[in-house]
């Protein structure tokens, strides 16, 4: 049970009075795929200046014991005695409460609503004696083999599914990635009195460009170009039809006016001419009267 030290009404941090105890190292070797948990005793923790290291830095293995002489590790994380994770970028060796976004260290994404942030307790990225576990990754192999870590070989069980990531893993350029996907072998077993033969399983490759996909894309592009060309032809035919209709309408109106003038009698023509002359004479007299009236006012 954790004891809170009180002095004059103030609650002091337990880490200030924390005593040395065993620390657990979580070791991982990417070259072999092995992992191992190792307990470090009190004597080595007293000698090690853990406050000089933080996440992402390299640390020599000899400070954790003679069994790790020559090893070089990279600090990838850790937890304190209460299970709060270390967070990269928090430059302290104690616990702090930060306003975190979902999906970051210390705040699981599925626990939050969209756009929500919450204040959560996280451990700083600087090492200390109050840590319960420290995660280390092997960068350089030492003098001795570590049983269960460097002397084993665990093949990659689940490989990448995306086509480009498979190419990156195997260094491929134009080869067919379907031949290089990581398969998992299922041994022969018995189920409900029946013997199921051994077989292998492989994931479905995502974003895989196969000839069928290329043909389908080319077909869609070809159909799109054909639709564009057909639409352009229909538009051209429609515009030509409208222009011909307008031209025919103008020609019809012109012929109608010509025929109307042609069928007028001589008397009608004379009447039209006289009416136009009378209208022009009235307009001339009205303009002369307006000029005289304006001069009289002056």
pLDDT at 264: 61
Q: What is the pTM for the complete model shown?
A: 0.59
pLDDT at 280: 85
Residue boundaries of the structural domains of the chain: 20-140, 163-201, 209-264
pLDDT at 13: 46
Mean pLDDT value of segment 282-293: 81
Q: Which residues contact 89 (CB under 8 A, 6 or more apart)?
A: 125
Q: Which residues contact 174 (CB under 8 A, 6 or more apart)?
A: none
Distances (CA, A) of 27 to 77, 124, 136, 146, 284: 11, 20, 5, 10, 115
Span 107-162, pLDDT tens digits: 999 999 999 999 999 999 999 888 899 999 999 998 889 998 998 988 888 889 99
Task: In whole angstroms, give the CA distance from residue 77 to residue 54.
Answer: 9
Distances (CA, A) of 249 to 114, 239, 258, 260: 65, 15, 14, 17
Q: Which residues contact 197 (CB under 8 A, 6 or more apart)?
A: 188
């Amino acid at each position: 049970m954790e004891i809170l030290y009180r002095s004059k009404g103030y609650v002091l941090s337990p880490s200030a009075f924390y005593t040395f105890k065993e620390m657990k190292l979580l070791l991982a070797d990417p070259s072999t795929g092995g992992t191992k948990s190792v307990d470090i005793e009190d004597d080595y923790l007293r000698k090690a200046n853990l406050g000089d290291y933080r996440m992402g830095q390299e640390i020599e293995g000899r400070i954790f014991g003679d069994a790790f002489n020559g090893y070089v590790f990279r600090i990838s994380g850790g937890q304190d005695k209460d299970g709060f994770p270390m967070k990269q970028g928090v430059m302290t060796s104690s616990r702090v409460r930060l306003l975190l976004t979902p999906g970051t260290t210390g705040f699981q994404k599925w626990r939050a609503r969209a756009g929500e942030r919450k204040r959560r307790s996280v451990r700083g990225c600087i090492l200390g004696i109050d840590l319960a576990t420290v995660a280390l990754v092997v960068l350089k192999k030492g003098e001795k083999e570590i049983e269960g870590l460097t002397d084993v070989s665990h093949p990659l069980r689940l490989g990448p599914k995306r086509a480009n990531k498979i190419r990156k893993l195997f260094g491929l350029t134009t080869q067919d990635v379907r031949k290089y996907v990581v398969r998992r072998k299922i041994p022969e077993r018995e189920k409900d009195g029946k013997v199921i033969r051994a077989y292998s399983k492989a994931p479905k490759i995502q974003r895989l460009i196969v000839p069928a996909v290329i043909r389908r894309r080319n077909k869609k592009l070809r159909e799109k170009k054909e639709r564009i060309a057909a639409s352009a032809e229909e538009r051209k035919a429609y515009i030509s039809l409208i222009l011909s209709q307008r031209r025919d309408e103008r020609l019809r109106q012109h012929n109608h006016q010509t025929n109307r003038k042609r069928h007028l009698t001589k008397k009608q023509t004379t009447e039209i001419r006289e009416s136009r002359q009378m209208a022009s004479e009235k307009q001339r007299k009205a303009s002369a009267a307006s000029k005289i009236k304006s001069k009289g006012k002056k």
